[in-house]
């Protein structure tokens, strides 16, 4: 069984913000494969289904970004998922808007949600799908930037990267992290 967790913040006011790109990818993957995210497990909205023959749990933590580790730890424990079968999707300031990068392991990269997960799991040895949101202008605070919605000019690029992220996740589910990295990291 694989567990795919998209990071974000619950609530309508955060729905289309940069920090919620992980939620957006989960919603797109769930819609494409007819998985309802209507069960509450481990402080997360979850849905269980089959994608390309692989059993999967999709999850959106409801703990707010900076406390994502609580939810991820609870899900890993509840579903008895090995960390090699965990994929965490999150926004990344260090990647330009529209870029994505898969990794097998790593540090926090300054991301508080990832920091929380590493703290609660006791390791950084889990798969990540980083989705670029770019950096704010020098005059704008990072906190304000990640909590603002994408602009109308950015919408097409956001839709395209979400579509590419869904394909990368499908590859991960069927062929594993190496194949997904080889096919989708560019």
Question: Is 19 known to be catalytic?
Answer: yes
Give CA–CA dist 149/185, Å, rounded. 25
Strand pairing category for 100-103 and 54-61: unpaired
The token pair at 135 is 């950096």
What string of DSSP letters covers 44-85? Answer: EEEEEEEETTEEEEEEEESS-GGGHHHHHHHHHHHHT--GGG
Q: Which of 19, 90, 111, 184 is catalytic?
A: 19
Give CA–CA dist 118/108, Å, rounded. 8
Give the alpha-carbon dihedral of 164, 62, 72, 167, to 10 degrees: -10
Q: Which residues pair with 101 in a beta bridge?
A: 130
Provide the annotated active-site residues.
19
């Amino acid at each position: 069984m694989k567990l795919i967790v998209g990071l974000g913040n619950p609530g309508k006011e955060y729905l289309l913000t940069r920090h919620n790109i992980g939620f957006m990818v989960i919603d797109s993957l769930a819609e494409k494969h007819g998985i309802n995210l209507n069960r509450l497990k481990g402080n997360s909205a979850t849905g269980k289904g089959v994608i390309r023959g692989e059993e999967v749990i999709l999850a959106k933590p409801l703990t707010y970004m900076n406390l994502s580790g609580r939810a991820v730890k609870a899900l890993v424990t509840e579903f008895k998922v090995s960390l090699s079968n965990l994929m965490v999707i999150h926004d990344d300031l260090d990647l330009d808007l529209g870029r994505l990068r898969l990794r097998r392991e790593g540090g926090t990269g300054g991301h508080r949600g990832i920091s929380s997960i590493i703290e609660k799991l006791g390791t950084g040895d889990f798969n990540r799908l980083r989705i670029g949101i770019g950096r704010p202008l020098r005059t704008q605070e990072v906190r304000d930037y990640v909590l603002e919605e994408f602009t109308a000019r950015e919408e097409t690029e956001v839709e395209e990267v979400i579509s590419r992220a869904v394909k990368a996740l499908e590859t991960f589910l069927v062929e594993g992290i190496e194949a997904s990295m080889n096919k989708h990291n560019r």
